[in-house]
Amino acid sequence: MLERSVVAVEGAVLGLWAGAMAGFAFVFAPIAFRTVPDMGTFSALIGAFIRGLAPFGNVCGGVAIAAALVRAVAPEARGLAIGRVGLVAIGLVASGYETAVIVPHMEATAAQIPGAIDTVPKDDPRRVAYDEEHHRSTRVYGLAFLAVLAAATLVPFGRRRSGPPSGVDPAEA
């Protein structure tokens, strides 16, 4: 019974985290891009959202790691549990890097541009630097998302068998 509860918690928190990340990338950001009139406001909104999503991911990731470690007590579940912990750790590190390094660099670069970012020619060095940061942001965010999604996909696997312990002849159990 405890194992089922731990599996449910781990799956739920990873599903929530992956869903929030997907909702941001595939729903919120595209709608904001079409709706917000200027790139400066759009960038500030996106940066604020990413900063808000990071603590949520930290909590979800921490709970998922704790659940995976509880499940890792069973020898037959240990390998996949450790794999899920590794994937969640990748998601946490990538998310932290996005929040602590990339977003501040993008904001600092945008601050060097007088006026709206989208009014600066694409070959302007400041615009080139901003666009490069955006591409890096997309790759790092994508890595975090894929790591969390992969961990969530692996949650149902590695459960203990309901039969006798491994290595025990069922006729003797």
> Could you read off the pLDDT of 22-56 as tens digits, one per residue?
999 999 999 998 998 887 888 889 999 999 999 99
At 15, the pLDDT band (50, 70, 90 cuts) reads very high
Low-confidence winner among 51-55, 121-125, 156-160 (lowest mean pLDDT): 156-160
Tell me: pLDDT of 117 over 90.
no
Residue 168 has what pLDDT?
52
pLDDT, tens digit (0-9, with 9 covering 90-100), for 81-95: 999 999 999 999 999
CA dihedral 22, 23, 26, 31 (to 10 degrees): -160
6 within 8 A of 68, measured Cβ to Cβ:
no
For residues 78 and 152, the model is more confident at 152
Residue 83 has what pLDDT?
95
Query: Which structure tokens are listed for 142?
Result: 């994508």
Residue 157 has what pLDDT?
86
**Hey, where are the domains in the chain?**
2-154
Residue 75 has what pLDDT?
80
